[in-house]
Structures are given as C-alpha cells and as structure tokens.
Structure 1
C-alpha cells in the first residue's frame, strides 16, 4: 500500500519537528518546511523544504514540488506560527499585522495551495494547529488568541465547504508544551511609564513559568497521528494538561463574568 504523503509547515523545531519525526516513524513520507533550511544543515529527521507562509508564491512552489515528486498530497499539518504578548493598547500595529499574517493568513494560503490536489485525488486531510488560547480572550495575549481563534472558526466553515470532495479540516488546539516558541515570541516592551506595567510583567512571568514546566510535544504528534487514522475526524481536538482542557468545558457552561473571574484569579490579576 502506498504510504501517505504529509506536508508540515514550521517543521524544523518544536511541535512541528515532533509531529514529523513521529509520523516518519509510522511510515509516512514527511516533508517539513522552514523559512531558511540553511539554518539547519544537520537536520535529518525528515526532508526539510523552504517555504514562507507569508508568501503565496513560495507556498505554491513548494507544494508543486512535492506533488511533482510524489504524485499526491494526503495530509497538510498547518503548524507554522508565532507568539505575541502585550497590552492590546500598546502593541505596535506592525506586530499585530505580522501575527495575523503568519498565524491566520499563512495557513489560509497553504490550504488554498493544497486543496486543488486533494480534490483531484478524491480526498485528503488538513489539520490546523491552533491553540487552547484560541477559544478564549487571554489578558496580554489577546492578539494571539484572536489569530488562533479566527483560524479555528475558519476551520469550521471550510470543513463544510469541502466535505463533498472527501476532504476533512480539523482544528488541533494544544495547550502549553515544551517548545522554543517563547524564543521567537514578540513581547511588547514592559515600560515603567505604562499603565499596564505591573500586571503585564506578572502575566509574562506566569506564561514563562508554564512554558518551563510544560508537557512533551509528542502528545500533539500522537494526536495528529490519531486524527489521520480516523475515517471521519471531528472538527475540534484540544490536547494538553487536564486543567487546560477543563477550561474549555467551563467556558461553555459558566456565565461570562464568572469565567472571567477564574481567568483573573489564574493570572493573579
């Protein structure tokens, strides 16, 4: 039986590398992407191609290369993303545009590039890696929550549009995992003259503490594998520690103000 061909954006490190390594061990043909493969000369976990999710021409070139070599593309894992923190009021607008360009518009560009091939071959799966943070507005992470939340909502709409072609679109929302995302995250500066200086600094400290004690991203890789194996995947899959998954359930059943109070208590605000 032909092995499935998988494209993973943002595959050079963190969750993307974990997914690619795990799927390779399961017999999949994996292509990962990164903006600059030359930064990873010793990378040998799977094949790493150049792709910038902000540039549709870069995406189309890489997708066409994979299809030319393999004759098909069975699974897309939209994983490339960037973090951002800061007060809503004080975050520079160019950084807001950048996070939406990478975390929302980027995955849309990649889906548009792969869907024609999936229709042609009569099926395929797209797994959008969002975040548990995308289900709620988090203080000082509002733009990150908004971009990931927008991708989650788009996933729901697109899944209905492509189901007649045998294609499924799923949203896999991780909580905190031990990756290098913090190193690449944009932090609006904490300034002494800011009205938000103390609560913002307190929130940053808590976020960093959670990243330091976060779980192994192999859990996300295992969930991706499970979704690929399903004949009719669900739309939403949260993955993370129990309290993070519980927060989604509580948001559904609690009044808004009570849920907000729980978040404020969690962040000690």
Structure 2
C-alpha cells in the first residue's frame, strides 16, 4: 500500500504534534508546519515546513515544496489556531480580526491551496480541528467560539461542493486538552474600573484551570486516525469529556434560556 502523505498545520507543538507523532507511528509520512523554522532547530519528530496560514504566498510555497518532494498530498489537517478571551466591548477589534485570520480564514486558505491537487488525484481527506466551544456562545470567549463555529458551518457546505471529487472533509471538535494554547492566547486585560473586572477575571481563571487539567491530546490523535480510516467519514466529530460532549446535546434539547442559565451557573456569573 502506498504511504499516505499528511500535512498538519501548527504541527510543532500541542495537539498538532501529538497527532503527527501518532500518525507517523501508524506508517503515515507526516509534514507539520510552523511559522518560523528557526525556532525549532532540534525538532526531530517529523518533517517541518515553514508556513503561516495567514500568508497565501507562504502557503503556496510550502505546498509546492511538499508536492515537489512527494508528488501527492493525501491528508490535510487544519490544526493551527489561536485563543482569545475578553469582554466583547473591551476586546480591541484588531485582535478580533487577527483571530479570525488564523482560525477561520487560515483553514480556508489551506483548503483552497490543496483542493486542486486532491481533485487531480481523485481523492483526499481534510480534517478541520474546531472546538466544542464552537457549538455555543461562551462568555468572554465569544470570538473564539465564533471562529470555530464559522469553520464548522463552512465545512458542511464544502462537503457538498466537493462530493464529486473523491474528497472527504470533516470537523473534529476537541474539548479541553492539556496543551500550551493558554500561553499564546490573547487576553484582553482585566482593567481596574471595568464593569467586567470581577466576572471576567474569575472566568479567565476558570478557563485556564480547565486547560491545565485537560486530557491528554493523544485522544485527539486517536480520533483523527479513526476518521482517516472511516470509509464514509461523518461531518462532525467530538472528542472530550462526557460532560463537554453532552453540553452540545443539551443545547439542542433545552430551551434557550434554560441552557443560558446552565452556562451562567457553570461560570458562576
């Protein structure tokens, strides 16, 4: 069987690195991406390409380099992403735009770049790493939720547009996993005198505690492997604790105000 070629954006750390190492152990040829190769001189887990999902020229260069080496691309995993927290009123709009550029526009740039090759091959798999947070508007995480929710919906349409090309596209929404995402997240400052100071400060601590106590990202890697081996992949997959996944079910079962009250109680607001 021909070795499958996988490209994982944001593959140098966290979930991306975990997925890359697991797929490599299963016989896949893995390429990860990072915005700055110079920061990873000793990275030996798998091949790294320099790529910024916000920069179309950077994307085209990396894809061309990969195809020159391998001649094909079987799997794209859109994993690169950034976090953002803050009251909507007090979050600088330039930070909102930056987050959408990475979490939403970035995956679209990547998909547009690989579709011609996958269509030429007559097959391909694309997995968009979204978030359980993308299924609901979370207080002080509205922008992050919006970027991931937008990607979930866009994938639904993309599947229908590409169904005749042998290309399968799925979303995988993780819950809280123990990664370094908090270190790179943009936090709107908790400002003295702000009407949001106390509730936002408390919520921010709760969010960080959830990440610190999150599950091993190998669970995401195992789910990615299952999706890649599914004959007919579904649109939406979730991976996380029972309550995180059940929270999505409750959103569809409960009246809006009842669900809102559950979230308010969870965040102690």
TM-score (norm 2): 0.99
Per-residue CA distance 1:12-63 (angstroms, 9 max, x = gap): 0000000000000000000000001111111100001100000011001111
Q: Secondary structure at the match of 1:89?
A: helix
Matches within 5 A, 1:87-166: 87-166=87-166
Q: Secondary structure at the match of 2:127?
A: strand
Per-residue CA distance 1:128-151 (angstroms, 9 max, x = gap): 000000000000000000001000
Distance across 2 between alignment mates of 1:157 and 1:131? 18
Matched, 1:168 2:160: no
Q: Secondary structure at the match of 1:80?
A: coil
Structure 1 residue 78 displacement after superposition: 0.1
Distance across 2 between alignment mates of 1:136 and 1:37? 35
Gaps of 5+ in 1: none
How large is the RMSD of aligned CA atoms in angstroms? 0.5
Matched residue, 1:247: 247
Q: Secondary structure at the match of 2:194?
A: coil
Distance across 2 between alignment mates of 1:7 and 1:212? 27
Matched residue, 2:202: 202
Per-residue CA distance 1:218-263 (angstroms, 9 max, x = gap): 0000100110001110000010011100001101111100000000
Distance across 2 between alignment mates of 1:224 and 1:97? 29
Q: Secondary structure at the match of 2:173?
A: strand
Matched residue, 1:224: 224
Matched residue, 2:36: 36
Distance across 2 between alignment mates of 1:61 and 1:235? 30
Per-residue CA distance 1:149-171 (angstroms, 9 max, x = gap): 00010000001100110101100
Question: What count of residue pairs does the alignment treat as equivalent?
Answer: 269
Per-residue CA distance 1:102-125 (angstroms, 9 max, x = gap): 000000000000000000000101
Matched, 1:83 2:83: yes
Structure 1 residue 192 displacement after superposition: 1.2
Structure 1 residue ranges (4+ consecutive) displaced by more than 3 angstroms after TM superposition: none
Gaps of 5+ in 2: none
